[in-house]
Amino acid sequence: MAIQVKVLARPVADASYVRAMLSGMALTFKHLMNPHKKTEQYPEVKWALSPRWRGTHRMLTDEAGKAKCVACGLCPQICPANCIKLVPGEDEEGNRYPLVYEIDEFRCIFCGYCQEVCPEEAIHVGRHYENSEYSREGFVYDLERLMAQTHPVCEMWDPADPKGE
Amino acid sequence: MMLPLVVPAMLADQAVYHQYYNPLEPVAALPWLLFTILKMIIVFTVIMVGVAMLTLAERKISAWIQDRIGPNRTGYGGLLQPAADGLKNIMKEETYPDAAYMPLFILAPMMSFIPALITFAVIPFAAPLSTRWGLVEMSVADAPIGFLYILAISSLGVYGVVLAGWSSNNKYSLLGGVRSSAQMVSYEVAMGMAAVSVLLLSGNVSLPAIVHQQQVMGWNVFPLLIGFFIFCVASFAETNRLPFDLPEAESELIAGYHTEYSAMKFSMFFIAEYSNMVTASALMVTLFFGGWDIPGTQWDNVAPHTGLKFLLTLAFFFAKLLFFLFLYMWIRWTLPRFRYDQLMSLGWKIMLPLALAYIVITGGAVLVLDMLQVPRTVQWFGISPFWAALGVLNLVLAALVFVILDRGRIISPAYSRLSPVQVARLRARSAGRSLAASQGD
């Protein structure tokens, strides 16, 4: 295919270097003098997260301090990244509970489906972003770790109130 | 008819010029040597520390212009950032490319660093200081050839850049070096020509004499406005600062001539760039803004040369210097880079003819004013008639240049070659091609 060249007429009539330069310099000077800078002083001032922010997970507990999870298996079923490992167990009274519940936060894509699908409102994605670890293994959160998290949890999108008002 | 009139005027002129050239009584040999060594050490230290602080200033100003805060973690408000940077650069590993030509690769940073520093030697930075051994001139070397020395040495800096580009054995470095030399040559001419207008007024290349002439007459920036404009643009190009930083041109040449350099050698190029800025600013201050002169008073120009006068004039010199350094940074963070053909076009087709025409006009005006015996010294309301007349002429010229010449033109040889007929033909050809292409598909 032949190369198509678009020949544009340049707006020469209004061209001026000195005037353009001076107006540019006036603009940059205005910004220079502007006291409202956009920088956030990060470690001292934390970023205000959106209520719908989806970060690392948190497992909620009941009054007795046990995980709310009933090991129904919906979250590993729906997880698109296949990052939730769940081994269900059952006690003498017939209550199901997770023997193993692990989330690999490296594989997680933070879609929030696990929170949406959970019938017991047990697993949640959290409003949190400072997740550094010294080893890769540290990113596989077990049940104990998930229950120990204290940060606020995500408020999921509500179709009845799309703007969150 | 004209000749008998002109010649006495020119002879009278000579007398005027000699009044500006008034070298100080020499200090005895040993104190002179000691004072010179002292001045060398102080000026060197101040420039090196100043350059370090300038890197911080550049980062701060760039941040403020972009609505950011800039480095503020090291020391109070980031004041120790240059020290941290310097320490880091010294500790870092130096890499040597296998294919580089080693002797020149090592020599090049020094070659760009040294001329940048030694150009400052002749610039008078304060009023002379009266000591018990006599008057001490406040420039490292009180050379009577001051301005010629600066023209000679400042263009040596390009060797460092070109040698760095060539010895790196890298095509981008080489392109940067070649661009730099072409740019230097183009703008050096306009710069020298613009400075000639100052020499026409002072009649002397000695920088103290030029400062003295401005003390007597008033600052040169008003009577030589266009000259100052050309000089300013050319010194931006000479120091390789934006909008003329073609030798670096990150977007197309990686980092240009210093692509292959690391650690302290890279830092040397940086120091050279900033010292060049300092020298160019000092030169603009000296040639056009009265050097260390305090405006509106003659108190600072006459004996006795006390320590107070020395300090005040030094402060004024620094204030003017800082203004120009700020201007450098302000313009850097405002204007985008010129394209290479635009750069050459601006240099050769606009700056040089403008400077040449300006010499003729200024020379003619000076001759006419001297023939009419318009006094150069301050007459009424602290204004020299000679200065005012030239200033008015320059305002008219500035109006011509900035209002008429600067309208409806684009600096580009690529543009100027296209006539409307050619544009129409190109359009027709392109339309035909796209039609053929669409049918072919």
Interface of B with A in 100-159 (CB under 8 A): none
Size of interface A-B (CB pairs under 8 A): 78
The pLDDT of residue B390 is: 84
The pLDDT of residue B16 is: 56
Best CA proximity match to B353, nearest among B113, B193, B142, B122 = B193
The stretches in chain A having pLDDT less than 50 are none
What region, left, alpha or beta, does residue A73 occupy, with left being phi > 0 and alpha being psi -120 to 50 degrees? left
Task: Report d(CA A158, CA A108) in Å as an integer.
Answer: 22
The pLDDT of residue B366 is: 86
What is the three-class DSSP state of B423?
helix
Q: Which residue has the tokens 């009180």?
A: B142
Q: Which residue has the tokens 């990686």?
A: B254
Which of A15, A25, A29 lies closest to B410 in CB terms? A15
Domain boundaries, chain B: 3-434
Instruction: Give the torsion through C-alpha atoms of A38, A41, A42, A48, to 10 deg.
Output: -60
Task: Report d(CA B338, CA B324) in Å as an integer.
Answer: 21
In this complex, is the C-beta atom of B349 within 8 Å of any C-beta atom belonging to chain A?
no
In this complex, is the C-beta atom of B326 within 8 Å of any C-beta atom belonging to chain A?
no
* Residue B87: partners with Cβ closer than 8 Å, 6 or more residues away: none
The interface predicted TM-score of the complex, written ipTM, equals: 0.75
Which of B67, B407, B430 lies closest to A6 in CB terms? B430
The pLDDT of residue A165 is: 63
The pLDDT of residue B201 is: 84
Domain boundaries, chain A: 57-148
Task: Report d(CA B42, CA B36) in Å as an integer.
Answer: 10
The pLDDT of residue B256 is: 79
Task: Report d(CA B190, CA A7) in Å as an integer.
Answer: 34
Burial (CB < 10 A; 0-12, 13-18, 19+), residue B351, is buried
A5 and B426 within 8 Å at the Cβ level: the answer is: yes
Provide the shortest C-alpha distance from residue A39 to chain B (in Å). Answer: 5
The pLDDT of residue B2 is: 47
The stretches in chain B having pLDDT less than 50 are 1-3, 7-8
The pLDDT of residue B1 is: 43
The pLDDT of residue B320 is: 92
Q: Which amino acid, residue B398?
A: A
Q: Which CATH architecture has domain A57-148?
A: 2-Layer Sandwich (3.30)
**Phi and psi, residue A29, nearest 5°:** -70, -35
A28 and B426 within 8 Å at the Cβ level: the answer is: no
Task: Report d(CA B194, CA B347) in Å as an integer.
Answer: 13
Q: Which amino acid, residue B202?
A: S
* Residue A74: partners with Cβ closer than 8 Å, 6 or more residues away: A117, A118, A119
